[in-house]
Chains A and B, each alone.
Chain A
C-alpha cells in the first residue's frame, strides 16, 4: 500500500524508462495538480535502460498520494514511491560562492571545516566551496553564512536511497 508522510514536504523516488518525453509526462502530473517541484534530480541507473528521478515537492499529503499514483500509472514509470526519513538516507550536493575580504576568510574557513565543506576555489576576494549533506545541514550552514556575502548557491537537489538491502 502506498505510504505518504503526513507533512507537506515530500520526496518521491521514481524508476523510469530512460527515454525522451518521460520528464514531460511526469512534470505534467505535478503541474496539473498545482504542485511546485522544489528539486528534481535525474540520472541513469546502473542499468542504462532506466533512469532514477528524485523529486522534492511541497503540498498536502492527499494530493500527493494522487500524484504518486498518477505517476505510477504512466507507462514509462516502473515504480514511484515516497520514502520516509526512517527508511531512507538522503543527500544533496551544493556549490556556494562567498565574496569575502582577506580579513574574514579565516572565520569562514572555520565554519566550513565544521560542516566538512571543501574549498575548491579561492581568489583574493572570493571562495567557492562544495557542501554535501542533508537538507537540514544545508539550512544550518546557510543560517551561519547569513553574516557573509553569499554571492551564489547552486544545489543539486535531494537524492535518496533506501536503507539496508532494500531497493529504492
Chain B
C-alpha cells in the first residue's frame, strides 16, 4: 500500500486529538484493545484508573472544573456496566462527558458473546445521546456530533459503543470537517423583544424579590450578569447547592444555599418573598415541597432555563423564557429598574444575623469545625469536591465561595463514591489549584481503590475524611423519624485510614482533638509532594441542621435539634 491506511480506533483517537482532548480516564479489556493500542502513539494522556466507576467520576470532575468534555474509555460488558453510575451522575447534573465503550464484534451482537452487554439499551435512559457504531467510516462524524451534543445546550453524557471489528477495520473517511447530521437537535431560538418586555413587566411592584440561581447559570458562565442583576434590583440571592459561588457568598445580598439543609435565612426568604426568579434551577425536590402549591404560595414565579422540558415540569411559572442564562440576562437587565426593597433587605439581613449557621468547638471533634477551618485556610480558592451525606451538607454550609467552578458535588444523583475520584479529575484539569476532597468514611470506601491513581501521578489532593463511623445521614433519619432504630448504618470495622494511605505510599495526618484542627490542616495544605489523607475522627452522632423534612415546605424548617419526636416526612428521601 502506498499510503498508510488507518483503522477505526486510530481514526477515533485522531479525532479526539483534533477535539483538544488532553486526558482519557480508562480501564482496558479485550474489546477495547484496538483503542488502547491506538493510544500508544497518541499525545493524549491515558489515566489508568482502578475501577471504571472511578474513571467516570474523574472525567466528571475534570469536566466540572474545566468546562471541557471529560472522556472515559472502557471495555465491553462489565467494564461498560461499571460506568452506569457515573453516567447517571453526569446526566443528573448536566455534565459534558464522552464515554467510549468497547463492544464485541458486530456478528456476535445479541448472541450472549463473552463480555457482551446491551450497553446501548442499558444506558439509553441515562444519556443525552448514544451511538452504536456499525461502520468505521462513521467514526469521525459520530465524534464530531458527540462533542457538539455533550457540550451545547443543556450539557450531558454521550456514549459511543464501539464493536471491536469496527475499531479494527480500515477507516477511509476524512478525519476533519466531518459534517454533522443532526436534524433533530437545535439550540433554543433567541427570545423576542416582546417576550423579554413581558417577562420584565412581572418584576414591577415587587417589594420582596428573591433570585434563585441554579447550575444552569454556572454552566452558562453568567456570574457577572447575576451580580449585575442582584445589585440593580437590590434583590437577595440564594443558590442551589450546585451553584454555590455563582454569586459571592460574602456579599451582603447573598443568602447562601437553600433547601433541605440550606441556611435558615435562605429558606425564610423563600417563605416570605413576593417574587422568585429561578435562573437555571429546575425547582428540584431538595428545594421545593412535595405539595408544590405550598412553595412560595404568594410569590410570582419566573423561570429561565435552556431546557424547554424544565418549563412547567414542577410548577407553572407566571412567565418563562427558554434559552441561555447569560444571553437572556444581558438583554433582560437593561429592561429592569431598581425595586424598592429596603425593608426586605433589612429583614433578610436581620435573619442572617439572627439565625447563622453554627457549630460546637467543644465536646469532642465536630465535622463542622474541621470544615470551617479548612474553609478559612483555603479562603474560597481551593476546588472542593464532596461525597454524599452529612459531610456534604456540612461542607456546603461551612465552605464559602466567591467564584463558580470551585465547588463540585453530586447534587441530582447523590452518588456516594463521587468525591475522591472527581477530585482526581479536577486536579488533572487544574494542576495549579489546591484540590480538597471532602469525603465521608462511607463514600470514600466505595472508590478508595483510586488511591493508587492519585499516588502514581503524585497529585497533591487533600483527602479530608470526615469519619464518624456511621452512615451518618441515614442514621440521622433513623434517629429523628424511626425511633432511633438504627439499621444498616454502623460502619464498625473501618480501617485506620492513615495506615491505609501508608500502604499506597501516601502521607497521612490525623485529627482527633479540636485543638489540633488548624495546625494539622495547615501542615496538610503545605504538603504538596503527592496526595495526603487527613483522617478526622469526629463525634459519632452529629446531626445536620437546619433541616426541612423531605417533602416539606420552607416553613416546615427545623433550625435546631428538636426536643420532640418528629413526624415521618412525606417526601421520598
Given A75-B182, A77-B184, A78-B184, A69–B309 Cβ distance below 8 Å? Answer: yes
A44-95 residues at the B interface, CB under 8 angstroms: 49-50, 62, 65-66, 69-70, 72-78
Asked if B129 is an interface residue, CB under 8 A from chain A, the answer is: yes
In the complex, the answer to whether B121 meets A17 with C-beta atoms within 8 Å is no
Asked if A111 is an interface residue, CB under 8 A from chain B, the answer is: no
In the complex, the answer to whether B184 meets A21 with C-beta atoms within 8 Å is no
In the complex, the answer to whether B184 meets A75 with C-beta atoms within 8 Å is yes
Q: Which of A24, A49, A77 contacts B124 (CB 8 A)?
A: A24
How many chain B residues touch A (CB < 8 A): the figure is 18
Q: Which of B125, B130, B184 contacts A32 (CB 8 A)?
A: B125
In the complex, the answer to whether A66 meets B183 with C-beta atoms within 8 Å is no
In the complex, the answer to whether A75 meets B309 with C-beta atoms within 8 Å is no
Asked if A163 is an interface residue, CB under 8 A from chain B, the answer is: no
Asked if A16 is an interface residue, CB under 8 A from chain B, the answer is: yes
Asked if B312 is an interface residue, CB under 8 A from chain A, the answer is: yes
By secondary structure, the B interface counts as mixed
B296-335 residues at the A interface, CB under 8 angstroms: 307-309, 312-313
In the complex, the answer to whether A17 meets B309 with C-beta atoms within 8 Å is no
Q: Which of A24, A65, A72 contacts B312 (CB 8 A)?
A: A65
Of all chain A residues, the one with the shortest Cβ separation from B182 is: A75
Asked if B132 is an interface residue, CB under 8 A from chain A, the answer is: yes
In the complex, the answer to whether A78 meets B132 with C-beta atoms within 8 Å is no
Chain B residues in 8 Å Cβ range of A20? 132
Asked if A25 is an interface residue, CB under 8 A from chain B, the answer is: yes
In the complex, the answer to whether B129 meets A75 with C-beta atoms within 8 Å is yes
Asked if A28 is an interface residue, CB under 8 A from chain B, the answer is: yes
Chain A residues in 8 Å Cβ range of B129? 75-76
Of all chain A residues, the one with the shortest Cβ separation from B312 is: A65
Q: How far is the CA of A25 from the CA of B184 in the complex (A)?
A: 14
Q: Which of A16, A21, A65, A74 contacts B120 (CB 8 A)?
A: A21
CB distance from A146 to the nearest CB of B (A): 42
Q: Which of B132, B184, B308, B309 contacts A76 (CB 8 A)?
A: B184
In the complex, the answer to whether B309 meets A66 with C-beta atoms within 8 Å is yes
Chain A residues in 8 Å Cβ range of B12? none
CB distance from A167 to the nearest CB of B (A): 14
Q: How far is the CA of A66 from the CA of B129 in the complex (A)?
A: 19
Sampled A-B contacts (6; CB under 8 Å): A17-B183, A69-B308, A75-B128, A76-B129, A76-B184, A77-B184
Binding site for B on A (CB under 8 A): 16-17, 20-21, 24-25, 28, 32, 49-50, 62, 65-66, 69-70, 72-78
Binding site for A on B (CB under 8 A): 120-121, 124-125, 128-130, 132, 149, 182-185, 307-309, 312-313
Q: Which 4 A-B pairs rank lowest in CB-CB distance, beginning with the nearest?
A: A69-B309, A75-B129, A78-B184, A75-B185
